[in-house]
Amino acid sequence: MKPKLQRTFSPKPGDVERSWYVVDAANAPLGRLASEVAQVLRGKSKPTYAPHVDGGDFVIVVNVEKVYVSGSKETSKIYYRHSGFPGGLRADTFEKVRRERPERLIEAAVRGMLPKNRLGRQMIRKLKVYAGPDHPHQAQSPEPLEFTYRKVEA
C-alpha cells in the first residue's frame, strides 16, 4: 500500500485573514519599532506565511512624534526626497522631519524593510501612521501590540 503524500500548503490571497493592531511609538527606538512593524505587515509570525503572498495584518502606529533615535542621529540623520524635476533633490534632518511631518519617519523606516517590488507597495498600504494619540480606525477594533523595548526614563 502506497503512503499518502503530504502537499505543501501555499496560501492564496483569499485564504488570508487580516487583523488590526495598534502600536504606541512613544519612547520606542525608531529602528526596532520599524522592524517589528515590518514583520507584522509581512505576516512572518503567521503559520501560513509565504514570501510571495501578502499575508500580513494592518498596523496603526500612534504617537510617532515621541519616537527617539540614539546618539547624534537627531541632528545628523538626513532624509532625502526628489521632486522628479532636474535639481529637485531635497534633504531634511531628523529634527525638521519630526517637527513638520513626523509620520514620514516611520513610513520611511518601514518601507526600507519591506520588499522593493509591487508586493512591498501592497504591504505598505496596510500601515496607518498618526503623529498624535488618536486614530480614526476604532471601528476595526484594533488590538494593542506590545514590544518589550522602551527608552528608560532617567
- Interval 22-38: pLDDT, tens: 999 999 999 999 999 99
**What is the per-residue pLDDT for 154?**
47
Domains and CATH numbers, the chain: 18-68+102-144 (3.90.1180.10)
Q: Which of 6-15, 37-46, 60-69, 70-79 has the lowest mean pLDDT?
A: 6-15
pLDDT of residue 153: 61
Span 66-120, pLDDT tens digits: 999 999 999 999 999 999 999 999 999 999 999 999 999 999 999 999 999 999 9
Nearest to 77 by CA among 94, 53, 56: 94
